[in-house]
Amino acid sequence: MTEEEARQWLQARFDVSRGTWERLESYVAILLREMEQQNLIAESTRAHIWARHIVDSAQLLPLAAKAGQGRWVDLGSGAGLPAIVVAILHERPIQLVESRRKRIDFLNDVIAELGLSHAQVFGSRVETVPASAAAIISARAYAPLPRLLESAHHLADEKTIWVLPKGRNAQNELEAATRSWQGAFHVERSVTDADSAIIVAEAVRSVRRKARG
């Protein structure tokens, strides 16, 4: 997907308003500016930022479209991908979980600069987030699927939709996870890279906990 194709995809899929475009463009500019201070995105993706990062994040929204009311929780938010893009495109409350101090400060600055009042940062490890039942959980480059589910299962219930970009290792990670976890899992192809995939899951539960019960 080229940069022009990425912009066309966004407009076609979300009918992006002028104000939303301005926020997206501001976020891209902030990311590129901050790259002088810390390594937020791979240098090799700088010239393809709209396809590799903005659309790659935005494509999660349609996959979670049937989620009920409630909060979107993004694990290991880092540079704000996908969370900031989601917050720009949608008004659902979203919590960004990030443990690194420089990234926490960066995310808070971005939220303030873009006026994303429905987004908030939880500055600690995922395991310390108070238990809840998120409507949606996302994670991009956070952890292998088995460890991801183990660290975040207290944030979900049977209605939670998990949308988890996993690149080219999606099927291998899914096979490893299903030894300990059950649920309705399926793999969606990425719109930005035919070789990459996104794991989408519902009704996720631990096989070990069920056995002990």
Which pairing describes strands 161-167 and 197-206: parallel, antiparallel, or unpaired? Answer: antiparallel
**Does 81 show up as a binding residue in the annotation?**
yes
Alpha carbons 21 and 130: distance in angstroms, whole number: 34
**Residue 103 class from Cβ within 10 Å (0-12 exposed, 13-18 middle, 19+ buried)?**
buried
**Does 113 show up as a binding residue in the annotation?**
no
**Does 63 show up as a binding residue in the annotation?**
no
**Does 140 show up as a binding residue in the annotation?**
yes
CA dihedral 201, 204, 208, 211 (to 10 degrees): -130
Angle at 156 between CA 153 and CA 160, to 5 degrees: 130
**Does 204 show up as a binding residue in the annotation?**
no
Of 143, 110, 132, 140, nearest to 23 by C-alpha is 110
| Partners of residue 122 on adjacent β-strands | 97
Residues annotated within a binding site for S-adenosyl-L-methionine: 76, 81, 126-127, 140
Annotated binding site: 76, 81, 126-127, 140
